[in-house]
Amino acid sequence: MLHWLTTDWILCVIAAWLVLGFLGIAALRQFGIVARILFPLGGLLGLVLAFVAVQGLTGGVVEVAILPIGLPQLPFHLRLDSLASFFLFIIGAAGFGISLFAAGYFRKGEGTPPGLLCFEYHVFLASMALVVLADDAYAFMVAWESMALSSYFLVTANHKVPEIRAAGFLYLLIAHVGAIAILLCFGVLQANTGDYTFANMRLQALSPFWASAAFLLAVFGFGAKAGILPVHVWLPEAHPAAPSPVSALMSGVMLKMAIYGLLRVAFDLLHLQLWWWGVVLLAIGLATALFGVVFATVQSDMKRLLAYSSIENIGLLFAAMGLGLLFRAYGMTALAALALTACLYHVASHAFFKSLLFLTTGSVLHATGERNLGRLGGLIHFMPWVAWLALVGVFASSGLPPFSGFVSEWLLLQSFLFTPGLPDSFLNMLVPIAAASVALTAALAGYAMVKFFGVVFLGQPREEKLREAHDAGAMEKAGMLWLAAWCVALGLLPNLMLQFIDPVTQMLVGTGLANQAAANGWWLLTPTSIERASYGPLFFLLGVAAACATAFLLVRLFYHGRLRRAAPWGCGYPWQTPRMQDTAEGYGQPIRQIFEPFFRMERHLPAPGDAQPEYKVSVSDKFWHGLYLPIARAVEFLAAQVGRLQQGRIAIYLLYSFITLLFMLFMVPGVKK
């Protein structure tokens, strides 16, 4: 009987995604076939991938394969291990929910034919899976570039809008700058052997200098794709430009491919870890997290708010990896496993709750035609399904128990509590400041999510057309319900998720948390010992339920029939109109004032004699004006100078050739016999 390996099943899923993409090309404008058949089938393939990846995780077997495709003498080397299986599970599980939503979301006339969207979407999924499987630099870079190009075309789906084209070009530019750094990193890792397989890179014992060079190139290259400072500027431009399912796939899944790549290089391909690597990642991560969350709190566009929130979460992931490197460098493997567990748990948590939040914004956008928070409000009355599912994502993103975001952030803070054990007094002094930054970031994230949900769904509609908003369709609801269920499940059953993460940390640092967690029962999460810290999500949920039930019974017993209904006090205003509600700009005003050095603010005062005076404050990114615009101006200047060489006269071009030849004759030394 033919025995199929796990890798075979995964390759079949990848091939089937590509087949679905080409079927989309065949049914280029057949919207019914694409939306009702191809996208749901793509989602089912994601479910199969997630199931097979779980088998790979629990089996713990490393499988390798060679595909005879590509260039001569350069086949694709593939490897399925615990790290790859975990990220394949994220791709498949999140991709299932997003694909179901996409089946009900995409409409005719989105700017790109539906069949072409189907092709780009499934190539995007397949290329991400191939990135995770790749075991040589050639296969990795082919898959990485395929992922970048397919996502670029998805971002620019509505390519007739100039702003969307500009956002796509910016994304593609930074993606390719990062890809160059990754390619140089692989060049250093192969140590001049000419063998670019990852197996050969694992055998190389690089000096600390060259190992550090490879690490820093990896940080920049993968950081450009992840959106760390200062190469973050593409996220708040590309995410609002892309269709909402694409934004969900990019933020929830694609950004994690950068996390995967950095974990692969730092903990697998490099044979040593230096303590200052951890400090670099910790500093970059915390700066990125704080920057992202501060900008999220002052946004007035739904998708830009979520994009900056993704920057914040990527910063937390980099901080967790930095802490893991710091512990590993000092031989504290158990604490390194704790930090990496927090990182991987947050990878899964963010994949589900951020995808869910982007999908809810897509439903709101389709129902109202608005992304501006200042023109929304009161949608919980007209879109109850979307509102309640968005609330699940908001709770998870805010790090509130008993949802998934709380578990990962709690594990990260537990990791910081053990840093006084580091054998370095300087680090012992600085790391508590880092822990305080994580706590501040978590608090501001809750602030931003309250603004997002409150302004969009609560209060009264700020526009009359909002009263005609409709709830999401059946396929959209199914996709969002799947993602919301994971947000709840990861919050209530953390020890089950630790069983899947444990093989990954065993592979990367040699130990894990699963045995310690299992020793105290499946209902109690104990990262180190029960005497030091523990968390029981089910106990917490039962306590909240009991408190709510008790309050309800007491009200019914003592106050039933004694209520007097009256209009609430409106601060002295006789009419409760939408104009009396707090605006998105007003809600973020305290943050703008406290963190003013973060922003580049322009205040627009009303003109004298203006019949309808209006005061506006526009907030922009200092990095854009201080770094990127000067570079753009310099490139334009150099291009203009080089353009002067084009005279259009053959005599001038012959003169250039003659001068170049003379230069080479004088500068290149002759060959001595």
Confidence of residue 1 (pLDDT cuts 50, 70, 90): very low
| pLDDT (0 to 100) of residue 552 | 82
CA nearest 596: which of 563, 619, 626?
A: 619
Maximal CA-CA distance, the chain: 111
Give the residue among 458, 456, 447 at the shortest CA–CA distance from 588: 447
Decide if pLDDT at 99 tops 70. yes
Query: Hey, what amino acid is at 484?
Result: A
Predicted confidence (pLDDT) per residue in 426-444, tens digit = 777 777 888 888 999 999 9
Are 310 and 227 contacting, i.e. CB atoms less than 8 angstroms apart?
A: yes
Q: Which of 94, 85, 23 is nearest to 246 (CA)?
A: 94
Closest-CA residue to 129 (of 238, 48, 242): 48
- Phi/psi of residue 110, nearest 5 degrees: -75, 0
Tens-place pLDDT, residues 235-285:
999 988 889 999 999 999 999 999 999 999 999 999 888 999 999 999 999
**What distance in Å separates the CA atoms of residue 334 and residue 339, rounded to the nearest whole number?**
9
pLDDT at 23: 94
User: Cα 132 vs. chain centroid, distance in angstroms?
Assistant: 16
DSSP state of 612: S
Q: What is the mean pLDDT of residues 616-638?
A: 84
Structure confidence by residue, pLDDT tens digits, 488-507: 999 998 888 998 999 999 99
pLDDT band for 70, please (50, 70, 90 cuts).
confident
Q: Print burial letters for 289-301: b (CB count within 10 Å at least 16), e (below 16).
A: bbbbbbbbbbbbb
- Averaging pLDDT over each range in 13-17, 57-61, 668-672, which range is the top one? 13-17
Residue range 449-469, pLDDT digits in tens: 999 999 999 888 888 888 888
Out of 62-66, 184-188, 290-294, least confident range: 62-66
pLDDT digits (tens, 9 = 90+) for 80-93: 999 999 999 999 99
Location of structure tokens 């999510």:
449
Bigger pLDDT: 445 vs 516: 445
The answer to whether the beta carbons of residues 356 and 487 sit under 8 Å apart is yes
Q: What is the pLDDT of residue 571?
A: 67
Q: What mean pLDDT do residues 213-222 have?
A: 96
Mean pLDDT, all residues of the chain? 87
> Is residue 636 over pLDDT 50?
yes
Distance CA 650, CA 316 (A): 59
What is the percent of the chain with per-residue pLDDT over 90, rounded to a whole number? 51
The predicted pLDDT at position 61 comes to 76
| pTM of this prediction exceeds 0.85 | yes
Which of 213-222, 431-440, 503-512 has the weakest average pLDDT? 431-440
Q: What is the pLDDT of residue 520?
A: 66
Kindly state the tokens that stand for 569. Answer: 């006090």
Q: Break the chain into its structural domains and give their ranges.
A: 620-664
Residues 575-613 pLDDT 10s: 667 777 777 777 778 888 888 887 887 777 777 776 666
Of the pLDDT bands very low, low, confident and very high (cuts 50, 70, 90), residue 371 is confident
Q: Give how far Cα 303 sits from Cα of 112, 116, 370, 462, Å.
A: 21, 24, 11, 19
The mean pLDDT value for 313-333 works out to: 93
